[in-house]
Chain A
Amino acid sequence: MNTLPQQLANGLLLGSMYGLIAIGYTMVYGIVQLINFAHGEIFMTGAFGALTVYFYILPDGTPMAVAVPLMLIGGGIVAILIAVGAERFAYRPLRGAPRLAPLITAIGLSLALQEVVRNFYPGADRARAFPGLDATHDLGSITIKDADIFLIVSAVVCMAALAYFVRKSRTGRAMQATAQDPDTAQLMGIDTNRIIVIAFAIGGFFAAVAAVAYGLKYGNVDYRMGFLMGLKAFTAAVLGGIGNIYGAMLGGLVLGIAETLASAYIDEIPGMQQLGGQSWANVWAFCLLIIVLLVRPQGLLGERVADRA
């Protein structure tokens, strides 16, 4: 039975996953005005990093309570290394180049990462089983899995930690300054290259957290999983106002809920019977993006460029 509360919960969960990935797009964009279109693939490599820990490093039968934190660390390390490596060797040399150059580089990097995983990771050309957290809990009209609890708790913890870091820490302050005016930030003594690396690393880690949650929830991963998730998370970042970390999370939640509700209920509207279900969910997600951008081009929480001066 799919009730409205259940659908809302499903939307919230999907949205938290989008939001975690969207942080990576929005932080990088906020600081270097670059859309890292390879970020979806960084998410994907995070999933394979975690899978590697589970199948090839940990002994069989390791309890999940021990395995999951180690998988987070493994996935996190892989995603951070790839994100930081992409910054250092692909994007940094192109700073100051026309905007098309890093964009094409990002697409190339996406394809390269997909192909490397497909060709060299055992069994990754098809869906690979990922350990699940499938025990269910009945909460009145809602049923959720352990994997869902993991997802929601890690999204809340990650977001709270990030908000605290950006507002209160010295490095977070430096990050705000770099986003607002990179040259002047250097005049303050801020090593802006280091700040950029940190932004990529945080984005990579958050993507890995989302990737572990994805695997635990859906039970399998594959080399293409980053494409659609990345595109949706990018949509969430734009929807929320790219450059704004709260916007990324809000955009993720709005997108997740709208998409879930649309695919569950739109076919109940007379004349729209054919437009429901999962296959149309993506269409509704991008329609929402277009509508929001028509009304509020800067996104839900974005600042108008004129305010930035």
Chain B
Amino acid sequence: MTALLEVEDLKVAYGKIEAVKGISFSVEAGQVVTLIGTNGAGKTTTLRTLSGLLKPLSGKITFDGKPLTGVPAHKIVALGLAHSPEGRHIFPRLTIAENLQLGAFLRKDTAGIEKDIQRAYELFPILGERRKQAAGTLSGGEQQMLAMGRALMSQPKLLMLDEPSMGLSPIMMQKIMATIAELKAQGTTILLVEQNAQAALSLADQGHVMEVGKIVLSGTGQDLLHDESVRKAYLGED
């Protein structure tokens, strides 16, 4: 069986600066795969390329058996790839309910959309309580919940999360990580980019460590969690 997502020798550049210098990895259906790495390693660039917001210099992306390269961004979500971007990027002047509806923009099944909105409210009760409120008035953690809920509204085959714990309090971070674990238990396939390597690796089936545009180390989440160099560089041990 082939993987749900297959990335081969992907290179991405901003002008002359190559930010991703030929990386390959894959995500199997049902897996949680994490990309960790220092600031500027190219993680966000990779996700933005997968969702079509950036055009790769070269390389091959295959999703669910179809090539993704050259497909415009707005057509990619229809194939089953959802992206919760770094910095959350909720629509600040629309309400929470409207943000969630936009996550289901391409769906036509009104009843199903309504059911999934209720499910998002169950997953994140605070969103249900505030449904009529402008999303820009939510706290950072609440916005993160909304961004995740919105990405789930497209019923994705693969959910990409870019630094869901960024800038959150420890308690909020735990809550978000617990939710990701819950989504994993429900069988959601997730590609997770995180600075919080400890939390991400504990959840992940597979992990890849990126440094300046390259994958320098790969393994199962547990392997990496116990790897000497990873512990030193990312888990703050010496």
Which residues in A have some Cβ–Cβ distance to B below 8 Å?
Answer: 170, 173-174, 176-177, 180-181, 183-192, 303, 307-309
Contacts and interface: CB of A to CB of B under 8 A. Distances in A.
Contact of A177 (B75, B83, B102, B106): B102
Contacts of B82: 187
Interface string B81-106: 01101000101111000100111011
Most buried by B among A188, A307, A308: A188
Contacts of B72: 186, 191
Given A173-B101, A173-B102, A309-B136, A187 B77 contact: yes
Most buried by A among B52, B75, B91, B150: B91
Contact of A309 (B73, B92, B106, B154): B92
Most buried by B among A180, A181, A189, A190: A189
Main secondary structure of the interface of A (DSSP, over half): helix
Interface string B185-214: 000000000000000000000000000000
A184 B91 contact: yes
Contact of A183 (B53, B93, B101): B53
Given A173-B102, A174-B105, A181-B91, A191 B85 contact: no
A287 B46 CA distance: 51
Most buried by B among A170, A184, A307: A184
A184 B89 contact: yes
Nearest to B153: A188
B177 interface: no
B161 to A, nearest CB: 13
B105 A190 contact: yes
22 contacts: A173-B101, A173-B102, A174-B102, A174-B105, A176-B91, A176-B94, A180-B94, A181-B89, A183-B53, A183-B85, A186-B53, A186-B72, A187-B51, A187-B83, A187-B85, A189-B74, A189-B75, A189-B154, A190-B105, A307-B92, A308-B92, A309-B92
Most buried by A among B52, B82, B93, B150: B93
B102 A186 contact: no
Given A173-B101, A309-B136, A189 B78 contact: yes
Contacts of A185: 102
A65 B92 CA distance: 46
Contact of A188 (B92, B93, B105): B105
Given A173-B101, A174-B105, A183-B53, A191 B74 contact: yes
